[in-house]
Structure 1
Amino acid sequence: MKSKNTRTSYNRKTKKKSTVFSTKFFGNLILVFLFFAVLSIAYHYRSSFAHYLGFKSNLNNDTNVFSEARNLKVLEKNNGKVVGIDVSEYQGKVRWSYVDTIEEKYPLHYVFIRATVGNDRVDRQFKRNWLGAKENKMIRGAYHYYRPNENSLEQAELFIKTVKLKKGDLPPVLDIEKLPKEQSIERLKVGLRRWLKAVESHYGVRPIIYTGEKYYDDFLKEEFGDYLFWIANYNFYREEIQDDWLFWQFTEKATVPGIDYNVDVNVYNGDLQQLQYITVE
């Protein structure tokens, strides 16, 4: 007969083996799931991957083939809607005469250009980009990067002083991405309202609000529903623009002729004639 200690030792070994088996089983199950997930994604983007891996010879070391393939898929899905970009000093010196299409197939009709940041800084490339986009016959718009902890009216004054909108330009844009550190969400919303009203009063046109989808859902959708929104969402599973978005920034990692760095690409929720309809008169 086995002793008590022997039975206890045997039970421990059995439990240990069972635990190891369970861990390996679930680990293998996860690997199988990941394999089929990758296979599914590869199949979904198969035509785009073939385009980049089989026919592109000018890819540089910074090119993310998966991102580029997904970008191409989004453009295909939103065919008929107007495509544009947005730039700032982070794109360096843009050679505007070369900025025309993506993949020599999708024309770039408009550009949003960062003008100001907070209450004290003008984008270093704003003037050059503002003039270059106009010379390149692109519909242009200017945006302000809002700093939550700085005076909203001072920020509006800097934007107004910097940006001279002309007929055919897009409405001004308020870019809000950060949460405040020194004030409540309610005070932030008061500041946003002040900026929006001051800018609308000066230009005679209602501004557009740019933000991320989660920020939009959590803080802005209900109380700022009287404004039009430009939403950033880079999730690979989203391939078409939402009905209630005016613009959709679907990537921050695209390659565009005339620009040496990655650039954001946007889809407007309409055709060219509809885009021209919302410009400044």
Structure 2
Amino acid sequence: MRKQTARRKTTLVRKHKKKATVFSGKVLRYSIGTLLVALMTAVGYHYRDGLAYYFSFKSDKILQEETEAKRISDVRNFQVLEKHEGKSVGLDVSEYQGKIRWTYVDTLENKYPLHFVFIRATVGKDRKDRNFERNWLGAKENKMIRGAYHYYRPNENSIEQAQLFIKTVTLQKGDLPPVLDIEKLPKNQSIENLKLGLKRWLNTVESHYGVRPIIYTGERYYDDFLKEEFGDYLFWIANYNFYREEIAKDWLFWQFTEKASVPGINGNVDVNIYNGDLEQLRYITVE
């Protein structure tokens, strides 16, 4: 007798394809790509004037003169300068710019006259900027309104720092008030002691020159540590952020870029806008 082999019925289960959702790979990539294109289009439209100027002005120069000092590399810089038409524009320099050929220092992008320059004089309690004397004299001979600044070291004696600045810098009629540059937080002291040291430097320098100093710092540092307690002083603020395009009402100077190029200076240099025109700038100089 034959053995019958039982055959199992096999039930076929069809797998249903999942419908594409916004979270599936292709759709997600498409959505991100569309968003990026829209964002780039919006940014391009916002900076259309700067981009048009940038490419029309630079194309031939870049191709033919690659060894020249770089021009303003960020299109935002042109946008900022356009928004501040009529305000005074200037630089700040130190030994890091090397030997400056001051007779060539005149304009930005062959369009914006340079009226003033801040020159680093001293660092901490014991170091003079190696090119200060040369820059100080060169700026004067180039008929630029000049100012001197001190780079403050929080962990060094504030009176000794002030005395070094006073020994190094002789202000004349038409020069800008002295500047205290504070960028670092102390390592071995409290914020309150830092503020006390800053006040001692400021008071010592003001007593000597008979004019209240200006304070230079970054916007974050200004907001967090200096704005309230040093409200009687005028501020020079550094902010290079993409979103910042206009000087704040309570800033005396705004350092809006560190990536500009100027005839007579090799490499990048900082550019600043004064919150007023040239006549108003002259008004705050030493008498």
Higher mean C-alpha displacement, 18-27 vs 126-135: 18-27
**Corresponding letter in the other structure for 1:132:** G
The answer as to whether partners of 1:92 and 1:261 remain within 8 angstroms in 2 is no
Structure 2 residue aligned with 1:269: 275
Gap regions ≥5 residues in structure 1: 1-9
**Corresponding letter in the other structure for 2:38:** F
Structure 1 residue aligned with 2:238: 232
**Local SS of the residue matching 1:214:** helix
Structure 2 residue aligned with 1:49: 51
Structure 1 residue aligned with 2:85: 79
Residues 23 and 144 (structure 1), Cα distance of their counterparts in 2 relative to 1, 3 Å cut: farther
Q: Which has the higher helix share?
A: 1
Indicate the percent of aligned positions where both proteins have the same amino acid.
Answer: 73
Structure 2 residue aligned with 1:160: 166
Larger Rg, first or second structure (1 or 2): 2
Q: Does 1:32 align with 2:34?
A: yes
Residues 178 and 32 (structure 1), Cα distance of their counterparts in 2 relative to 1, 3 Å cut: farther
Structure 1 runs, 4 residues or longer, greater than 6 Å off: 17-20
Residues 63 and 223 (structure 1), Cα distance of their counterparts in 2 relative to 1, 3 Å cut: same
| Alignment partners' CA distance in 2, 1:214 and 1:205 | 26
| Alignment partners' CA distance in 1, 2:185 and 2:26 | 43
| Alignment partners' CA distance in 2, 1:19 and 1:65 | 45
Select the residue among 110, 113, 124 that pairs with 2:130. 124
The answer as to whether partners of 1:99 and 1:256 remain within 8 angstroms in 2 is yes
Structure 1 residue aligned with 2:11: none
Gap regions ≥5 residues in structure 2: 1-14
Structure 1 residue aligned with 2:141: 135
Q: Does 1:242 align with 2:248?
A: yes
Residues 145 and 28 (structure 1), Cα distance of their counterparts in 2 relative to 1, 3 Å cut: farther
Q: Does 1:100 align with 2:102?
A: no
The answer as to whether partners of 1:83 and 1:106 remain within 8 angstroms in 2 is yes
Structure 1 residue aligned with 2:6: none
| Alignment partners' CA distance in 2, 1:192 and 1:149 | 11
The answer as to whether partners of 1:233 and 1:250 remain within 8 angstroms in 2 is yes
Q: Does 1:214 align with 2:214?
A: no
**Corresponding letter in the other structure for 1:46:** R
The alpha-carbon deviation at position 24 of structure 1 amounts to 5.9
Residues 204 and 19 (structure 1), Cα distance of their counterparts in 2 relative to 1, 3 Å cut: same
Alpha-carbon displacement from aligned partner over 1:102-123 (angstroms, at most 9, x marks no partner): 1221110000001111111111
Alpha-carbon displacement from aligned partner over 1:78-112 (angstroms, at most 9, x marks no partner): 00110001001111111100111112211100000
The alpha-carbon deviation at position 76 of structure 1 amounts to 0.7
Structure 2 residue aligned with 1:6: none
Residues 168 and 19 (structure 1), Cα distance of their counterparts in 2 relative to 1, 3 Å cut: same
The alpha-carbon deviation at position 277 of structure 1 amounts to 0.7
The answer as to whether partners of 1:49 and 1:65 remain within 8 angstroms in 2 is no
Alpha-carbon displacement from aligned partner over 1:164-205 (angstroms, at most 9, x marks no partner): 100100000000011111111111000000000000001000
Q: Does 1:280 align with 2:282?
A: no
The answer as to whether partners of 1:49 and 1:66 remain within 8 angstroms in 2 is no
Structure 2 residue aligned with 1:7: none
| Alignment partners' CA distance in 1, 2:37 and 2:22 | 22
**Local SS of the residue matching 1:58:** helix
